[in-house]
Structure 1
Amino acid sequence: MSTKGLRNSLKSGWNRVFGDRAAASPGPSLTQPTAGVQPPKQGKHSTEASPSNATEPHARPNPSVAKAQATRATTEDGAKEADPYATASLEKIPKSPSCQTQAQPVEPQAEDPLATETTERSPVLSPSQELWNAAYDSLANGGDDAEDKDTGMDKDTVKLVKCYVKTLATILSAEASSDADSVAAELEDKSKRQTHMRRLVKEGQAKISTPSKITMGVGDVAQFILSAKGMIDAAVGNIPQAALPWAGVCVGLQILSNPGRATQSNLAGIAHVVFRMDWYCTLSEHLLKKDRVDDSLGSILPQLKARIIALYKALLLYQMKSVCSYYRHQGLGFLRSLANWDDWDADLKAVTDAEENLLNDWDKYDKLKAESLRSELVKLAEGIVGMLGDIHQTLQDFVDLQKTIRRDDMEATCRRELRVVDPHHDMERIERSKDELVDDAYRWILHTEEYTEFTNWYDNRPNGSPCRLLWVNGPAGTGKTMLMIGIIRELSRLPVALTPKLSFFFCQGTDTDLNNATAVLRSLIWLLLLQQPGLISHLLQKYIESGDALFKDRNAFYALSEAFQNMLKDPDLSPVYFAVDALDECEQGLADLIKLISASLTLTDKVKWLVSSRPSVELKTPDTAGSLVELDAQRLEDPVNAYINHKLSILETREGYDGRVLAEVAAEVRLRAKNTFLWVALALKELDREDKNHNLVHGMYAPSIIRKMPSGLSELYNHMMIRIEEGMEKDPQYCKTVLVSTVLAYRPLTLSELAVLADLPLGMHPRTIVKKCGSFLTTKDETVYLIHQSAKDYLDENYTSRLQLAGVAQGHADIGMRSIKAMSSVLKQNIYNLDFGFRPMDITPPKPDPLAKIRYSCVFWADHLCFENGESPACKQELTDDGRVFEFLKERFLYWLESLSLLGNLSDGVQSIRRLLHIAQSQPDKSPRFAGFLKDAEKFVLSHGSIIERAPLQTYGSALVFSPTMSAIRNEQWKERLPFIRNVNGIRDHWSAHQQTLEGHSNSVSSVAFSPDGRTLASASRDKTVRLWDTATGAHQRTLEGHSDSDETVRLWDTATGAHQRTLEGHSDWVTSVAFSPDGRTLASASHDKTVRLWDTATGAHHRTLDVDVAIRQLSFSGDGSSLHTYRGVLDITCGTASPASTTLALFVREQWIVCDSKILLWLPPDYRATSVAVFRNTVALGHASGGVSFMELTV
């Protein structure tokens, strides 16, 4: 249940208990008349109460976090009126006689035996005041009952009370007494005690952070502090008995505002006490009211009072101990000898036990008279705790909970498409692939000054800027990733109510899916949205317009950056940590990512960044200069020593590893490790090697093995390679092919995929060879990983000398051809045995999955063959008319497309075809038939890709049937058509020049234009949007909004970010066409006002107006940018004259014809008639009334 829902539930529940009585007459106002302000008139919030209401007690629930501070609005007659919700809650506070309005008499309290010390001059104290005083006096006297003396309380409590009083006076008061005894003496008089405590509370309220500062603080605790502050304002102003306990609450809130300085169990107890304090204060007033006491039960009353006093003593004792302990750590060591400072769970249990004892006795006392009332009150008290949330709930629990909550379908789909990986799972995998996280190896960082400043969300430093960017840097292998995991684990374990949100990502250079800035940003946003779902509003509209292309196209990072920055500027954003590990492994877009980090620090003070990398990363920018703090991961030796000790403790149980051997091994490792965790891990892993009899290294040989290992990672890797080369028989060859495949692969490989790429013998399990590859590789969850980025760096640098003399290009060629061999033996029609209309989103792969071992091959085989444009001799030979690649595609092209559709990678197939075509066209004498086939294949996929992607088996149905009769694919593969297809007539013979139809507009397209480089097409529609398209793939890139109608303007946008830059005004009628000059510096616009205007794209300045005799609907610049081509002739830009003919070749659409230099070329069927046209070189783009855009390439 949400906080809002729970609040409404509690409010309605309370009204059920007290609603009838409250409805009889409104409760008394909480405001006292003051000078210059008249009380409100009789009415809804009148200060006058009926007699029945004046004597009827009401218990008050806690105000909700969101409505905690009672705000007041000025009424028409000048009086201040409480916030309606706050009034509903606060009006029900039971009033002690001493705090009634002046119109109400005070009842005498002489009957109460606890009030015998009150003198004639002293004000009459309420029962609650007397009970709090009795509890305080008992503690000040060291505990005056038998139970206290049995526990030895009297030995420490006197000291504790004096320490507490002294600390309160020091912390809350500007005029603290230096003598604890004199302060304690002042509090011996009960009336002076109230006055003194109220003064301390007022001064304590001033110490609590202002709302503007609190809202910059830590998560839900900020609202919690505001809530409690509002309770103090109301309670102390209207319930004098609250002063004594709330003085300690003021300090408790200061502790909660900086939770990093207290223990989690203590924080839990403080939150429990603070949030229930108003319930405790009103409890006795409600319970001991005279008109609620039945004469027949009067003998039980003293026992009930004793229970309340016991509860109040436990509460005061917990407050005293918390305050003294906290400020002991802050330098106010007034009490240093008290034992058991840190047994907070036991202390909190004493409070909850006292509550339980009281409720049990109350149950017996009130069972006959108020059973239903008591039950409701107990439930409400429990609900109040629920409003805060379980203080022990961790951030990880919170994230897990959010994952299970059902969201709106569109939001859920958006988040699902946004997800790259779950960073939590990535962190678990990294931990398992490395060694166990050793506490002592990372906890040191938690005690550094840099980390303390980083986790302090309140800038208390008198000089300098707050630390908002903590950079953990160090050379390879120094444990940066494990440090990051340790910090993330530590932040995740903090109570969710007292800590910011946390979003993180681990860059991994060996995985192309995880080594780019877009993947980083997608994952950070994904985790952020799980924790703060409301922020998805800044992303959803873009997703609705663009679909998953928003996250995948070449402008994805820029589009997501805009949404991300809008999220950071959202006023509802809760404070959040962003953590990114291994920035140096972000191989694509690192500079853009650093710019985004820098920009975020200027947008809001609710974000902090924790990043790690090697020192070579340029993280210092003008925007980060004031917030960046560096932390050297290699600064201490103790963490590495702790890691060494941990690793050696594992060896203790092995044969021969006695104390002497372990000490010798430890000394050798420390000598050579040079404070490098990875060196330690790799060196000690050598002791886990097995001989031919599968026996582990005996302890007696361990020291000599370590001595043979050189210092330095590169030298150690070289040592490991020598060991591999000394292996038995063909083991060195197999190990090297495995290492080649792992290093050159574009993502981590499964064991079955590795067996294919390394061409391992059928009888050899790949795991066996992986184990023989020294410590270069590790296996987790059936996937093989390089042990560390430094291992990949070493193998890349020494590839030719250590792995393959023929070089990297030959290695890629080998992987490509092995992939083709494997696909040829596995691929077939309907490999998953599906129905003809089955969609990939519904697919659950069969077990065993026939595609499992060739998944990588299906997607990446062409990338390997086209490495460096296929320059290796082996590639050139295979990419010809007689090569095996052409043979494979002729026989299994449709099978391959089906597999790509099943894997969700059909778009990769289009790119693969284009790369192969580029290479085939570069050697026309050897590959004419192969190039022709690839052109046909490209047409086939572009024309039918939409249906193939949605229904894989329609590759053999619709795609084959509606391909031209002369299509090479159709002729080669016609035998593969679905069984219900016999023959088809009326199909055209050749592919049309029409390449693609781009669909997305909801109204007719009024104008289209190419970018200067021809790579992007913009289409404007009567739906008041402009859409950008990738001309190579037809993919929708983004939607630009801004036009309100045919508003006679031209608007310029940044195509990378979608940001509106400027509006060009000057036309007196609607704009019909626009065109960019080849250099992109000039924009031409034509309008129904019979003019063509020229604009400077950089400044928006108007250059020239060209008058024409008709409304021009099509414009294009000449190749040199000196003239404008229209279907009516050529416009000279310099002089503004028009000529009826042109010597420059230009394509135009005139009515239903495509013409070139006034020559008719092609008739457009009715379905392809254009409402707008754009031309780039030999490509014509047509906008249609349907809202679609098509374009065709012509040879002229």
Structure 2
Amino acid sequence: MEAVGSAASIIAVIDLSTKVAALCFQYYSAVKNARSDVERLQGELERLKTTLQGAQRLLESPNGKRLQTSQRLSDGLNGCFSQLSQLRSRLEKKLNPGPACKAMRKFGLRALKWPFESKEIDSIINNLERYRDTLSAGLAVDGTTQLLHVGQTLVLSKLPTASNAAFDSHADEHDARCYPGTRTDLLERITKWAGNPHGEIIFWLNGMAGTGKSTISRTVAQSFADRGLLGASFFFKRGERDRGNAALLFTTIAAQLVAKEPDLAPHVRAAIEDDPSVTSKTLREQFEKLILKPLGNLKGGTDDVKEVVLVIDALDECERDDDIRAIIYLLSQAKAPSSMSLKAFLTSRPELPVRLGFGDIKGKYRDLVLHEIPKPIIEHDIAAFLDFELARIRNDHNSLSPADRQLPPDWPGCDITQALVEMAVPLFIFAATVCRFIRDPAWRDPGGQLAKVLKYQSRTQQSEIDKLDATYRPVLDQLLPDSKAAKRSIVNEFRTVVGPIVLLAEPISIRSLARLLGIAENVVFRRLEPLRSVLNVPASPESPVRILHLSFRDFLVDPEKADELEKYPFWVDEGETHKRLAARCLELLSTEDRLKKDVCGLRLPGTCRSEIDQKTIDTSLPPDVQYACRYWVYHWKESKCLIRDGDLVEHFLNRHLLHWLEVLGLLGWISESISMVDDLLGLLDREGSDKVSAFLSDTRRVIRSHCSVLDIWPLQVYYSAIVFAPTQSVVRKTFEDQFPAWLALPPKLNLDWDACIQTLEGHRRSVYSVAFSHDSKTLASASDDNTVKVWDAATGTCTATLKGHSSSVASVAFSHDSKTLASASDDNTVKVWDAATGTCTATLEGHSRFVNSVAFSHDSKTLASAVGR
């Protein structure tokens, strides 16, 4: 039985129990004095068979292979099989008697005798009950497992996640890990921190660009994953939408935690069902409801707490400074009484927002500065890496080259390796880039490539900028020919192709890039081919091209290089490149049939976005068109070019505004359109922009009035959005010719917009107080439903619901620095909240009656509260 799978074993035991039951029936009709024992045994056999058949159905279900508990019930099945085999043997022996018994039967004498005493039957039944209980327990566990799997799948489908954010994502699978024998002391320190249940919640590894933070993060994440400690990982990356901001950070982490720990699924599911919009709420609400509270609900004693570590890399590449501080603060609050203890390993450059964030949580983190590690240790690690990589380059080259072109066995030699080490310290990115440069198959000349690098040996100083010069200039300078005309052509082509790549809002494929830039694919490939040491150049034109390290972008756009073009001919003018990208986006979208009414051919204006298949959208809107719709405003803003009447922006909006809003609605970006219009309004030229100013201002009113409708039904932009706009609306007048043909009698409307910009809905009872933050970005409302809601003043979106008061909230106020929010309640308390995170930082008690007013001093240091009579 041991060698047989559980499913086959169950079938064998069912078959054997059926045979034993048939034998018992023969005895029942022939042995009257033992019928009670036979009936009891038959009853247990029937119950056992029912249990076994249930196990068989479960294992044969679609999820049967996932039910690992039943696969391990061999002991119970073996026990049943052994007991039943013994029963069968003794019963058959009596039914097949010897010659003497047969002779007695011949004369009609009763020869058949029940072979068991009642006590034996009691023991047999007890054994079978015990085995049946074991099987039943396994079935119960597996039934729960099956339910958990269904719940897990459902939860994962409702959590939006950032693609390629995990350390082991396909997009980054070839990114480096620490070479064996390097970073040993550092990795040991991190391991000890993770294993210390009484240690700090956060380990912050910081270092300047190129010191190897991400390589260490991937190594640490892999190590934790191998040991079952990794809960989730998130690698920020500037220039990639999902990874360049914190919008999907905690939902991605929650999804990974649920995938790792199925027991979390029902708790996360409950949080989503209780608040379906939680995935788009503030970071605080997402963290508390999707991560912290579900972890706290896990059952388990204090003696079996499981350590789980989050790995978050390149936090400094998160776009919003306030988000960075909020993430650090929230992670520091991760201690919760549960069977799972959460810790966080973070890496970043020592940028100001990150330093301020850690300043807020003094005593709750451990830090280590990479570039302050003793130089001999860094030298050893870089030397070990270079020894290994250069030996591999030598061996690969010699295996493919004729004898007269092979490298010497000791190439490049100890002295040259040491020279490279001295050039690199403390930048691991130098060592990695140099090795990719030397190996470059486009040249097939490791010796010659190495010589190009060594030319920069004397120029390498101790500053980070000089080190980056030595890292990237050999890669770029090799592109330059001797001819001035050819040099000018290559530099221009580089700026046309590579300049946009390093400034794109998110990576796009080579094919989409070629279409966006209006150049041939082969031109893009030709310019990217010799840059594989600094760019991830895919073989397929449908795959995105990415920069390998953010420091390459920093090197190219460094404004200090603008005055040294002889030395830095490949310098990229950031403003001009953004301007060119913005113009190309609008030109692409203005091409005939790129944008048009009902671009996906939906026909019915009441079609919900949720009902539209993504393939339909992608077929009608290729990636380059989607990119242009999403980011033309971003590039225009980054170019800092002013907008005037009659320019490209006004021409595009007058022709394609409704088409553009339809596409944003289809892509789920309509809420972002408000901030886009605000950005455009901020770029208006003070002189000569009256028309476009009026148009944009009116566009903002149209979007704010119908934002929620367009988010659900994108085609309503051609119907309710303009039909119900005031008769003097600029947008309505511009697109009156697009009114639906069946609208014979337009509705009676106001002449112009009224004073109400937008109606904010969400409170369940009366609102008693409203306050604006002093930076005018946020609105807070206090309600009789015992909550305070925080709203984005630009979009009208509820960003947080602050809960904690046990009675009506009568008053709310912002501090003058807009960092703190206070609320006064009928529960006789005042609560103080962090405006960025929505966390209650203090509950002020002392009043004996309802508190109905609260206010801050002008220096934001003092708070006053008052009660009514």
TM-score (norm 1): 0.51
Distance 1:557 1:655, change over 3 A: farther
Instruction: State yes or no: 1:578 paired with 2:310.
Output: yes
**222, 225, 228: which one aligns with 1:492:** 225
* Residue type of the alignment partner of 2:646: D
Distance 1:1077 1:933 in 2: 39
Distance 1:806 1:684 in 2: 25
**688, 695, 701: which one aligns with 1:939:** 701
The alpha carbon displacement at 1:404 in A equals 6.4
Contact 1:477 1:678 (8 Å CA) reproduced:
yes
The alpha carbon displacement at 1:891 in A equals 1.0
Distance 1:888 1:405, change over 3 A: same
Distance 1:477 1:908 in 2: 34
**609, 620, 625: which one aligns with 1:840:** 609
* Residue type of the alignment partner of 1:792: R
Instruction: State yes or no: 1:416 paired with 2:180.
Output: no
Contact 2:204 2:345 (8 Å CA) reproduced:
yes
Distance 1:721 1:371, change over 3 A: farther
* Residue type of the alignment partner of 1:502: G
Distance 2:736 2:365 in 1: 68
* Residue type of the alignment partner of 1:1057: G
What's the CA shift string for 1:1065-1104, capped at 9, x where partnerless?
5658xx9xx666585799xxxxxxxxxxxxx98364x4x7
What's the CA shift string for 1:466-511, capped at 9, x where partnerless?
58655556654454433433443344345xxxx4452111122343
Aligned to 1:530: 259
Structure 2 matches for 1:611-1010, cutoff 5 A?
A: 611-613=346-348, 634=378, 636=381, 637-656=383-402, 660-661=407-408, 663-665=410-412, 668-669=416-417, 671-673=419-421, 674=424, 677-687=428-438, 689=440, 696-698=443-445, 701=448, 704-705=451-452, 707-708=454-455, 710=457, 712-726=467-481, 730-755=489-514, 759-762=517-520, 764-773=522-531, 775-780=533-538, 782-797=543-558, 800=562, 801=565, 802=568, 807-825=573-591, 826-836=594-604, 837-841=606-610, 842-846=612-616, 848-867=619-638, 870=640, 875-876=641-642, 879-920=643-684, 923=686, 925-1003=687-765, 1005-1010=766-771
Two-structure CA RMSD over aligned residues (Å): 5.2
**337, 345, 348: which one aligns with 1:610:** 345
* Secondary structure of the corresponding residue to residue 1033 of structure 1: coil
Contact 1:551 1:560 (8 Å CA) reproduced:
no
Contact 1:441 1:640 (8 Å CA) reproduced:
no
Distance 1:881 1:788 in 2: 40
* Secondary structure of the corresponding residue to residue 173 of structure 2: helix
* Secondary structure of the corresponding residue to residue 423 of structure 1: coil
* Residue type of the alignment partner of 1:1001: H
Distance 1:1076 1:1030, change over 3 A: farther
**838, 849, 868: which one aligns with 1:1057:** 838
Structure 2 matches for 1:94-243, cutoff 5 A?
A: none
> How many residues end up aligned between the 2 structures?
717
Distance 2:150 2:709 in 1: 33
* Residue type of the alignment partner of 2:626: R
Distance 1:739 1:1081, change over 3 A: same
Between stretches 785-794 and 678-687, larger displacement belongs to 678-687
* Secondary structure of the corresponding residue to residue 664 of structure 1: coil
Contact 1:858 1:899 (8 Å CA) reproduced:
yes
Distance 1:484 1:371, change over 3 A: farther
* Secondary structure of the corresponding residue to residue 757 of structure 2: strand
The alpha carbon displacement at 1:896 in A equals 0.9
Distance 1:666 1:622, change over 3 A: farther
The alpha carbon displacement at 1:914 in A equals 1.4
Structure 1, unaligned stretches of length 5 or more? 1-5, 18-51, 60-267, 299-369, 390-397, 460-464, 1083-1095, 1108-1196
The alpha carbon displacement at 1:940 in A equals 1.1
Aligned to 2:170: 428
Distance 1:722 1:959, change over 3 A: same
The alpha carbon displacement at 1:956 in A equals 1.2
Structure 2 matches for 1:5-154, cutoff 5 A?
A: none
What's the CA shift string for 1:102-147, capped at 9, x where partnerless?
xxxxxxxxxxxxxxxxxxxxxxxxxxxxxxxxxxxxxxxxxxxxxx
* Residue type of the alignment partner of 1:525: A
Distance 1:913 1:565, change over 3 A: same
Distance 1:380 1:620, change over 3 A: farther
Distance 1:422 1:404 in 2: 24
Distance 1:579 1:625, change over 3 A: same
The alpha carbon displacement at 1:743 in A equals 2.7
The alpha carbon displacement at 1:981 in A equals 3.6
What's the CA shift string for 1:851-870, capped at 9, x where partnerless?
421322212222222238x3
* Residue type of the alignment partner of 1:942: R
Distance 2:521 2:74 in 1: 73
* Secondary structure of the corresponding residue to residue 595 of structure 1: helix
Contact 2:856 2:862 (8 Å CA) reproduced:
no
**772, 796, 799: which one aligns with 1:1011:** 772
Distance 1:472 1:297 in 2: 76
Distance 2:740 2:701 in 1: 21
TM-score (norm 2): 0.69
* Secondary structure of the corresponding residue to residue 789 of structure 2: strand
The alpha carbon displacement at 1:643 in A equals 4.0
Distance 2:128 2:274 in 1: 53
The alpha carbon displacement at 1:661 in A equals 4.0
Distance 1:404 1:939 in 2: 46
Distance 1:530 1:386, change over 3 A: same
Contact 2:828 2:848 (8 Å CA) reproduced:
no
Structure 2, unaligned stretches of length 5 or more? 1-5, 18-36, 45-67, 95-122, 301-305, 461-466, 810-824
* Residue type of the alignment partner of 1:793: D
Aligned to 2:240: 511
Distance 1:892 1:622, change over 3 A: closer
The alpha carbon displacement at 1:380 in A equals 8.1
The alpha carbon displacement at 1:665 in A equals 3.9
The alpha carbon displacement at 1:820 in A equals 1.5
The alpha carbon displacement at 1:984 in A equals 1.7
Instruction: State yes or no: 1:450 paired with 2:204.
Output: no
What's the CA shift string for 1:828-851, capped at 9, x where partnerless?
222222232222222324464434
Q: Larger Rg: 1 or 2?
A: 1
Distance 2:361 2:697 in 1: 50
Structure 2 matches for 1:267-666, cutoff 5 A?
A: 405-406=150-151, 411=155, 415-417=158-160, 419-421=161-163, 423-424=165-166, 427-432=169-174, 434=175, 440=180, 445=184, 449-450=188-189, 453-454=192-193, 456=195, 476-494=209-227, 499-500=228-229, 502-511=231-240, 513-516=242-245, 519-532=248-261, 535=264, 547-548=276-277, 550-552=278-280, 555-557=282-284, 560=287, 564-567=291-294, 569-570=296-297, 572=299, 574-586=306-318, 588=321, 589-600=323-334, 606-613=341-348, 634=378, 636=381, 637-656=383-402, 660-661=407-408, 663-665=410-412
